[in-house]
Amino acid sequence: MESQEILQKLQPIFRDVFDDDALTVDRQSNASTVQGWDSFAQINLVMSIEKDFGIELALGELEDLKNVGDMVDLIGVKLNRKK
């Protein structure tokens, strides 16, 4: 799955987790640019991503993520390993 496809699939997940139908995220989006992105929202976001993409994200991997772009790249790596 290409990065753009992953980002498109993440869009409704972010909208659901943050309860904002108008929310748009891009590769530069992060906890300081998305209203309500706190530790609780992070947990919900990770759980939703794992469920929707059928992958598992380790805590150590999550600590290194600086923005949505890093998240997209990590999801891409995980999906490629599943093939």
Residues 43-83 pLDDT 10s: 999 999 999 999 999 989 999 999 999 999 999 999 998 87
Q: What is the pLDDT of residues 10-54, one digit of tens each?
A: 999 999 999 999 999 999 999 999 999 999 999 999 999 999 999
Q: What is the domain class of 3-82 according to CATH?
A: mainly alpha
Residue 7: alpha-carbon gap to chain centroid = 8
Amino acid symbol at 48: S
Phi and psi dihedrals of 51, rounded to 5?
-65, -50
pTM above 0.85?
Answer: yes
The answer to whether residues 6 and 72 touch, using CB atoms and an 8 Å cutoff, is yes
